[in-house]
């Protein structure tokens, strides 16, 4: 993709500033409606998923105590892989987004949750919630575009290192949780100079990550294998496979979110003084969905609804399927492309981009078009466009927030 600002024909050229603000108003209305209807059913949903996940993990690890026997190894490894995927995707990722903060349950809260992953949740929340979700697909601002080791956009400058990126991507997929930890630590940037290496903030985060990884490794490769006695080595293998399966799966799902064909990217200058409507539009164009069954949505942590997730990152994940038809309709009415497809197609599309962009731009893509300078603006993304509203009724004050 070339950034939308440098494209020959922009897919948003037909939208007036008023259209864009109107999109924002419509999306805010959908958000308000769903957020106001959150309740006991949603609470029951997340508690049920957590209970099932813990049961599955405990059961699988119990079976793996006898992993010397091949059927036990197979069942236990499969169960543990699924448990780890559920924990990372539908539970951890979404809780850390604050989707369940409204329950006011300290056990299921973005400020308290720690996930089964190498990266400490605090660091993940910074790089993911804050940087990636605010600056989605802005070249130079959103490091998720290639994670700093790959080139996934024509407007990212080519260097020879990228020749190897299909290999980097595969290695990263296998060790994805460590890739994320390194990414959250911004190792590339922070190891570059002595001053940065010795920065106390960086050293503290490094120590935090080391401790987290230590505990995770101790659990998966020492404690549980030791508990299984004669099945020691088999349990090590089972846990390694479960981690690998989880890594490959999450990596594939996440690649499908922003790399497939049809997803747009943006210039750094284009988001200066961005309005709420413009931010929403960027999220709509910068994300892609995965079509599939209910099981697929659950196993992807509803990141199969990446578009809906990027529009409303703090909406409970079990509600995305409910708003999806209305979002799709909104795309249609405003003449925009709702990018979606089955998992194999989207994964292939993302991989093709990684392979294609390992080489320098050629042909049409090599022509770098100038971008129009935007007049400086000072909008705040939280501020909604003016809509005629009725004053807050006193009844709303007694309602539980």
Q: Point out which residues bind other proteins (CB under 8 A).
A: 28, 31-32, 35-36, 38-44, 51, 54, 58, 96-98, 101-105, 107, 109-111, 114-116, 125-126, 129-130, 133-134, 212, 215-216, 218-219, 223-224, 227, 276, 279, 313-314, 380-384, 392, 396-401
Shortest reach from residue 369's CB to other proteins, in Å:
30
Which structure tokens are listed for 288? 């892609």
Quote the radius of gyration of the chain (alpha carbons, Å): 22
Task: For the CB of residue 331, give the shortest distance to other proteins in the complex, in Å.
Answer: 21
Q: Considering the complex, state which of residue 257 and residue 313 has its C-beta at the smaller distance from other proteins.
A: 313
- Nearer to other proteins (CB atom), residue 231 or residue 361: 231
Query: Smaller CB distance to other proteins: residue 32 or 329?
Result: 32
Nearest to other proteins of 54, 374 (CB atom) = 54
DSSP characters over 268-310: GGGGTT--HHHHHHHHHHS----B--HHHHHHTTTGGGHHHHH
Which of residues 217 and 359 has its CB atom nearest to other proteins in the complex?
A: 217
Alpha helix ranges (H) inside 65-199:
70-86, 94-96, 121-124, 133-134, 165-174, 176-184, 187-190, 194-197
> What's the rounded Cα separation, in Å, for the pair 264 and 119?
28
Least distance (Å) from other proteins to the CB of residue 172? 22
Is 283 within 8 Å of 119 (Cβ atoms)? no
Cα–Cα separations (whole angstroms), residue 161 to 66, 150, 171, 192: 45, 9, 15, 16
Tell me the C-alpha distance between 86 and 245, whole Å: 12
Based on CB atoms, which residue is closest to other proteins, 363 or 394?
394
Q: Helix or strand or coil: residue 342? A: strand
Give CA 17 to chain center in angstroms. Answer: 29
Tokens for 327, please give them.
């979002």
Q: How far is the CB of 116 from other proteins (least distance, A)?
A: 6
Count of positions (residues) in the chain: 401
- Cα-based torsion angle of the residue sequence 276, 277, 281, 287 in order, rounded to the nearest 10 degrees: 30
For other proteins, the closer CB: 111 or 291: 111
Output helix, strand, coil percentages for the chain, rounded to the nearest 5.
Answer: 65, 0, 35
Q: What tokens does 102 get?
A: 């409204």
* 284 to 23, 48, 104, 157, 207: CA distances (angstroms): 10, 31, 30, 25, 37
Least spacing, CB of residue 307 vs other proteins, in Å: 15
CB of 43 to other proteins, least distance (A): 3
Q: Phi, psi (5° rounding) for residue 279?
A: -65, -45
Shortest Cβ 75–other proteins spacing (Å): 20
CB of 395 to other proteins, least distance (A): 8
In the bound state with other proteins, the residue whose beta carbon lies nearer, of 18 and 33, is: 33
Nearer to other proteins, 27 or 150 (CB): 27
Closest distance to other proteins from the beta carbon of 154 (Å): 27
């Amino acid at each position: 993709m070339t950034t939308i600002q440098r494209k020959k024909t922009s897919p948003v050229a037909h939208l007036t500033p008023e259209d864009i603000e109107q999109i924002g108003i419509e999306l805010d209305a959908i958000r308000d409606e769903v957020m106001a209807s959150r309740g006991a059913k949603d609470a029951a949903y997340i508690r049920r998923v957590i209970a099932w996940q813990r049961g599955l993990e405990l059961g699988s690890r119990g079976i793996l105590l006898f992993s010397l026997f091949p059927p036990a190894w197979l069942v236990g490894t499969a169960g543990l892989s699924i448990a780890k995927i559920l924990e990372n995707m539908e539970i951890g990722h979404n809780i850390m987004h604050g989707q369940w903060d409204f329950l006011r349950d300290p056990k299921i809260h973005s400020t308290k949750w720690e996930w089964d992953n190498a990266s400490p949740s605090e660091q993940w929340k910074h790089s993911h919630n804050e940087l990636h979700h605010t600056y989605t697909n802005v070249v130079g601002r959103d490091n998720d575009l290639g994670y700093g080791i790959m080139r996934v956009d024509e407007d990212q400058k080519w260097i020879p290192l990228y020749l190897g990126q299909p290999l980097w991507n595969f290695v990263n997929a296998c060790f994805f949780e460590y890739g994320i930890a390194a990414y959250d630590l911004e190792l590339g940037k922070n190891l570059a100079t002595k001053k940065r290496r010795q920065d106390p903030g960086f050293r503290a985060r490094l120590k935090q990550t080391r401790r987290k990884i230590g505990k995770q490794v101790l659990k998966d490769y020492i404690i549980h294998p030791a508990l299984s006695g004669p099945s020691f080595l088999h349990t090590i293998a089972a846990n390694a496979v479960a981690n690998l399966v989880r890594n490959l799966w999450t990596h594939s799902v996440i690649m499908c979110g922003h790399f497939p064909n049809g997803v747009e990217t943006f210039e750094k200058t284009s988001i200066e003084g961005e309005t709420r409507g413009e931010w929403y539009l960027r999220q709509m164009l910068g994300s892609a969905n995965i079509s599939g069954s209910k099981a697929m949505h659950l196993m992807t942590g509803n990141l199969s609804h990446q578009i809906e997730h990027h529009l409303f990152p703090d909406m409970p994940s079990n509600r995305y399927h409910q708003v999806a038809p209305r979002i799709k309709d909104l795309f249609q009415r405003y003449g925009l492309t709702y990018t979606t497809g089955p998992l194999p197609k989207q994964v292939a599309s993302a991989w093709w981009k990684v392979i294609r962009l390992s080489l320098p731009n050629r042909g049409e893509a090599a022509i770098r078009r100038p971008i129009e300078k935007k007049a400086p603006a000072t909008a705040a993304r939280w501020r909604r466009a003016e809509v005629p509203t009725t004053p807050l009724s006193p009844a709303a004050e007694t309602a539980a927030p």
